[in-house]
Amino acid sequence: MERWRGRLALVTGASGGIGAAVARALVQQGLKVVGCARTVGNIEELAAECKSAGYPGTLIPYRCDLSNEEDILSMFSAVRSQHGGVDICINNAGLARPDTLLSGSTSGWKNMFNVNVLALSICTREAYQSMKERNVDDGHIININSMSGHRVLPNSMTHFYSATKYTVTALTEGLRQELREAQTHIRATCISPGVVETQFAFKLHDKDPEKAAATYGIMKCLKPEDVAEAVIYVLSSPPHVQIGDIQMRPTEQVA
């Protein structure tokens, strides 16, 4: 990780869960991290924690509604003017709504598509352009995907969510191919965790907190820090090594 010290990483959805764990891990490694979310109170607290702990990097909170392209473009413009540009883009933000294919709301589908697919694609495009204009040839774009991007569970409330994550799988491989066509050494990776103990299930089952709690109570789940360690592993790999996907589950998870 030595070569990444002092360079800038963007982490979306950094207000909690996997995003917060990744942001902390990168600051511990000496990176300058822009952590964005719709609300930045938690990121501000994490930034203060990192500073008081004496970590060599810095965490910069940035308020951004990823469902709004203008917000995303404004964020990249601010990063360009204040910090130079993005060297690592970690597309972590994602959401699931309990909208089934047969009776789900169009607004719920749009929310998932806008954040899980479009925001990820816009951030990827802008990060690449930021690297290109500064002749950065060793950048890295990491998409936090899901095991739901590799198999469809018999759970109607996650079918549309799973479709967005299959899209992320395709986008990551397509990105890898386009980066090769552009003759760059910028790398693209997705990390696909199974059940991670975060607020994810509580937001999915927001009307049934007992069901959400049960999701995490039936096994020893992955922790956000486990996914953050996978991010560090990917970034630590030698420049000639392209890691396409890391699939990781709790040992006790069946599907």
Please give the Cα distance from 47 to 35 (Å, whole number): 9
Helix (H) or strand (E) holding 130: helix 120-133
State which H helix or E strand residue 127 sits in.
Answer: helix 120-133
The catalytic residue among 55, 62, 161, 233 is 161
161 annotated active-site: yes
Contact 150, 247 (CB under 8 A): yes
Catalytic residue positions? 161
